Amino acid sequence: MTRKHRPSPPPRSAAPAAQPTTWRWRQDLPLLALVTLVALAGFANALCNGFVGDDVGIIEHNPRLDRPWDVRTFFTTPYWGEYLPNSRLYRPLTTMSFALDRAVFGPAPFGVHLVNVLTNAAIAALVYALVLRYTRRRLPALLTALLFSIHPVHTEVVANGVGRAELGATLAMLVALHLHLSYIRHADAPQPRRRARLKQAARLATLATLYLVALLFKESAVVLPGLMFLAEWLLVRGGAWRAMLPRLPGYLLLVVPLAIFVAARVAVVGPQPPAPQEVLLGASTAQRLLHASATTLQYIGQLAFPLWLCADYSDYRNLIRPTLADPLVLASLAAWVGLAALTGSLARRRRHLPLFALGWFFLALLPASNLLMPVGTIRADRLLFVPSLGFTLIAGDLLARLTRHQKVLGVSLVLIIMGFYGWRTWTRNQDWYSQDTLWARTVRDNPGSAMAWYGHGQSLHRQQQLELAAQAYERAGQLRASAGFFYGDAHRGHADVLRILGDDAGAIRQYQLLIEREPPDFRVYVNLAQAYKRQNDTAQALAAIAEAIRLQPDEPALWDIKASILRQAGMTLEAHAASQQAAQMRDRR
């Protein structure tokens, strides 16, 4: 029996032709509209949110936003400005975008949230177009974009004002990837004309500019060249290494915008990276790596089943000191072995789309994973915004394959997942409605978060629930103290509440702790003086107000307080002299 001749597969070094996508506008425009509408509907209730968490310092109480024309200030000051001058973050375009929001919509939070929701919808539409252009398959592109558009882990980005950093960077990155594909396809075609070569040079310059824009929104965009390389190598070139070698010089040109960003950042905030979270301080390199491994597994589980979401994962009851005996660490190490086997299997079968999706997820997560170096957070939902595209791409591809073979089952599963995602996103958006809702639910979900207890104490303080506020402040201070840290803000809030409640002795203890543990603050001495005054301890009250005057000598109100203390003690002449001093200082102003 003669054997049928089977043509041999092309060698791995041969690059498949990058065929342009055939756009069918009658099909694609309705699908783009569907993705956009789903994204808008999923986050519509976020438009009612106020300024929550970091929004307060970066947006609500940021005087730089009143001067949108002062571009120089945005590029020469840190992200947090004077609110937290040592934050070591540099995101000038993010801050500038908030200034434009204020100029157009006013200082209310609605404008910030409207821009966030619209930007998320635009990103979802770009995801659909990008996946379609690279894969040339509409159903996987549609399902990927739908899952991405309302994934619940995105609520911390879209429903929170300061999520603008991720949104702006992601928008610039996706536009750059679209332009990158156009650049590749024109580069593969003959370029006999000078005009065509100039267009390619313009595309490359625009790519570099978009990269710089993304970096100026958020530094995690540093991975863009790697994502571009993965897309070209696996999706356009079909995994052909040799075809990528002539392309390397073009990628090296992206070092220029990266160097510009690094130089600007170092000039403004210095060369040091942001300090790691306190619960990670003191951990060895091995412990940090084990924690990063376990956290990566938790991220994957959270993407697959995003039921438990939290604004702060730091737990001061359990400092990060993992060992190989921890079940989650063991599971994560086993998962790495399984991932290596899966990657090898996909590579042998030339399944380039899932390989690209896996590469996208891990590369996009790498800068904030604590694997390379300690970063400013141990875990956060917002860090999954860009990496989640890799997850939704795998999920969309699998659901599309299932739908083609088992239509009823596939469609039913898509509807169930979209329904669950939509419900969870809608309910999570409500957690970000106000400071009160966010911190109350964060305390419920993570009772070991000192930051959540402090925020909850502030909310209760505003609501005049003073006994509960004192308990929340005290709990925040205890949590950090149990880990060897001092929480000055919590002690200050606790002291202020105790003073209002009439517990002057308790307030004095808290103020004295602040004086012992933190740099001098004249306001602490003023409050301490008032507490001593109520106890009729004139000597201590005068000593405290004298220290306040030393720290703030040009403030006439301090002399008024001194006068009231002296008057209460029956020292009429001295009180009159202090009042005259206050009046003279006001006249000089």
Q: What is the pLDDT of residues 348-357, one digit of tens each?
A: 999 999 999 9
Q: Please, are residues 338 and 303 in contact by the beta-carbon 8 Å criterion?
A: no
pTM, two decimal places = 0.90
pLDDT band at 48 (very low <50, low <70, confident <90, very high): very high
Domain 522-589 listed as CATH 1.25.40.10: yes
Cα–Cα dist 510/491, whole Å:
6
> Looking at domain 434-518, what is its CATH homologous superfamily?
Tetratricopeptide repeat domain (1.25.40.10)
Query: Residue 116: which of 191, 194, 39, 200 has the closest Cα?
Result: 39
Tokens of 83: 């609110």
Asked which of 189-193, 275-279, 280-284 is least confident by mean pLDDT, the reply is 189-193
Q: What is the DSSP string of 205-257?
A: HHHHHHHHHHHHH-GGGGGHHHHHHHIIIIIISTT-HHHHGGGHHHHHTTHHH
Cα dihedral angle (572, 573, 574, 575), rounded to 10 degrees? 50
With 90 as the cut, is the pLDDT of residue 150 above it? Answer: yes
pLDDT for res 401: 94
With 70 as the cut, is the pLDDT of residue 84 above it? Answer: no
Domain boundaries, the chain: 25-189+196-431, 434-518, 522-589
Is residue 402 packed enough to be buried (19+ CB in 10 Å), middle (13-18) or exposed (0-12)?
Answer: middle
Characterize 212-230 residue by residue with b for buried, 16 or more Cβ atoms within 10 angstroms of its Cβ, and e for exposed. bbbbbbbbbbbbbbebbbb
Examine domains 434-518 and 522-589 and report if their fold is the same: yes
Cα–Cα dist 571/533, whole Å:
14
Cα–Cα dist 205/223, whole Å:
18
CA dist list (Å): 529 to 233, 534, 544: 69, 9, 5
Listed in sequence order, the residues at least 6 apart from 93 whose beta carbon sits closer than 8 Å to its beta carbon are 74, 168, 213, 216, 217
Cα–Cα dist 482/488, whole Å:
14
Average pLDDT, the chain: 90
Asked which of 68-72, 130-134, 151-155, 185-189 is least confident by mean pLDDT, the reply is 185-189
With 60 as the cut, is the pLDDT of residue 149 above it? Answer: yes
Mean pLDDT within 535-542 = 91
pLDDT for res 160: 95
pLDDT for res 3: 43
CA dist list (Å): 448 to 102, 126, 172, 381, 502: 36, 39, 37, 18, 29
Asked which of 32-46, 74-88, 173-187, 548-562 is least confident by mean pLDDT, the reply is 74-88
Cα–Cα dist 299/384, whole Å:
8
Cα–Cα dist 405/386, whole Å:
30
